[in-house]
Structure 1
């Protein structure tokens, strides 16, 4: 019997709360080093907006467009095999998110929408849904997921989202589940495969590291969400099995709360557009 969306949501919530409880016990969930008052507000608002407004609205809009213009395609893929469904979601949802994520670290206007995710000077499950509200509204992978659900793959999406969110939540938590496994020599071959297949704390923490001089930091890479394999395949992977000394964004002035939640509606701090960390310095304009 296939899981319903509601059941999948409850399981994801359980995974999230499980990692949150681990952080509460071991790494001070609500009192992270260098956190600010705005961090908690940003995380609460962006999480609530994504889960209660943005995702449901996108699904409704896609369904409405489908019913209006493409009614004959509703449920058209409902009978495909499990393996075909896996392939479609990995390509049109997870790989698409990889390219969107990479673009967000390559183009200034997209980076302005994504920077809120990196402003935190700590790692935590609190960061999982932390992003500009408009960033999520424009995210192609959410829209593609809506299309696949309309085409009849809702039965698969519920299970898929559990697996994906379990990986993403674990990769953001500062209770690094992979660290003790690296110390077990017998597991080294298995971990070699795991860290090249899915996102792990070590590989994803590298993407959140603050200083480019830190050997464990790879701010311009390690973009994968569920599959780290996309980074391996497209040459953006860096695997060190180490963790950055500190987290956040270097060489840019602080962004305001309004800017982090709703840039460009609140573009208070123009200096944040100076350059993208890790990118080549901008050329001076011709005069």
Structure 2
């Protein structure tokens, strides 16, 4: 029996809520360090738009295109083996997301579409769906996933999405599930494999680190979402088993609310000295190691 999309969504929501509860217990979930009034607005709007509008609209659009131009291929892959379906999703959905993410840190115009995800000066499950609305609308992986669903792999996508989102949610949480495991010596070989296969808090937090001179920071790498293996394979991995001292964007002007949600409709702010209403002023801060 295969999971339905509704069942998968409920399971993902349960995983998300579970990590929210952990952050409520062990961290300040609603009052993260250095958060601003804009942070909550960006997170609520971008999350609602992705889950309630953008993703469903892309799936509907791909289906409509398929029915209009390629009706003979609907459900064509429905009976392929599990392993073949897995390979297709890893290559066409997860690997393309790696390259899209990497490109977003290589081209200034594309980084403006992705900047909102890094603008939060903290780690949290709150960041999971935080991005410019247009960034998600253009993301190739979502369109490829829609095509695979049209070709008959909806039965696989439901389970795949649960696994992928569990990894991504756990990797963003500031309750680092990998930290205690690193301290168990006999688990070290197991963690060696795990941290080179999937995204973990240590490897993904490195991507969100603020200061380039922090040895635990690698914001020009560690792009993987489900599989960190792409970083290993394509030479962008840094594995330190440590965590950045602070998070956010370094050496850029503060981003406006409009820029975070709908650049280029709202143009980029270029004033390094500007103070965006609701944002925390840039002041020196203590840099203490959060975990290790």
TM range, smaller chain: over 0.9
Match of 1:26 in 2: 26
Q: 1:16-73: CA deviations, max 9, x gaps?
A: 0000000011111101000000000000000000000000000000000000000000
Matches within 5 A, 1:1-287: 1-270=1-270
d(CA) in 2 for partners of 1:249 and 1:52? 28
d(CA) in 1 for partners of 2:185 and 2:71? 56
Residue 44 of structure 2 aligns to a residue whose secondary structure is: helix
d(CA) in 1 for partners of 2:194 and 2:92? 22
TM-score between the two structures when normalised by the length of structure 1? 0.94
Gaps of 5+ in 1: 273-287
d(CA) in 2 for partners of 1:229 and 1:28? 32
Q: CA RMSD in A?
A: 0.7
Q: 1:207-229: CA deviations, max 9, x gaps?
A: 00000000000010000000000
Match of 1:284 in 2: none
Deviation at 1:2, TM superposition (A): 0.1
d(CA) in 1 for partners of 2:3 and 2:106? 38
Deviation at 1:270, TM superposition (A): 3.8
Residue 20 of structure 2 aligns to a residue whose secondary structure is: helix
Residue 115 of structure 1 aligns to a residue whose secondary structure is: helix
Deviation at 1:269, TM superposition (A): 1.1
Gaps of 5+ in 2: 273-292
d(CA) in 1 for partners of 2:173 and 2:4? 27
Q: 1:115-157: CA deviations, max 9, x gaps?
A: 0000000000000000000000000000000000000000000
Deviation at 1:176, TM superposition (A): 0.1
